[in-house]
Amino acid sequence: MPVLSRFDLQGKVAVVTGASSGLGVAIAKGMAEAGADVAIGARREEKLRDTQRLIEDAGGRGLAVRTDVTVVEDCQALVDAAMDAFGRVDILVNNAGDGGEYHPATDDPPEQFRRVVDLNLMGSYWMAQSVGRVMQPGSSVINISSVMALTTAKMPAAGYSSAKAAVLGLTRDLAAQ
């Protein structure tokens, strides 16, 4: 089997969160280049439309849905829209995330810590829960964590580091389920 055929996603449907910038854009475009149709979600609608155009330019069908992964109903709406448009979901890439502002633990505002954990951990869970209801056996959930889950960069990032470490535990548990 040729190496590139191992990455063939023809006939598959992917959902990618955090697809308005950075890795999310690259992942969505790569999925389309491999043959997948791609539903994308992020909070910044205009940038999301730019990513949708990249997906379509790569030969895939794209669907952009404004999504805040910290809102359970937004997660379900993204999955529902993907099902309506494409009839299935085979791949979820939980990419939405942010480190927020970095403060020493003794000065970290509670709302900042909660926001970072809500986005990085809870958003991944709400999306996995939503797709888990419609995915068929053999489907994949890909959770993006960080090297910060395993080590320190010697910078104050308690919320981000702990949320990304929790994503690793979440991934293990969901895989077992």
| Domains, the chain, with CATH or none | 3-176 (3.40.50.720)
List Cα–Cα distances, 81 to 31, 55, 86, in angstroms: 18, 17, 8
pLDDT in tens, 53-97: 999 999 999 999 999 999 999 999 999 999 999 999 999 999 999
- Start-to-end CA distance of the chain, whole Å, equals 31
Confirm whether 160 is a catalytic residue.
yes
- Of 86, 113, 125, 160, the active-site residue reads 160
Helix ranges, 20-109 (H): 22-33, 45-57, 72-86
Question: Is the pLDDT reported for residue 134 higher than 90?
Answer: yes
Q: Find residue 91's DSSP bridge partners.
A: 14, 140
Global confidence as pTM? 0.94
Of the chain, the percentage scoring pLDDT greater than 90 comes to 83
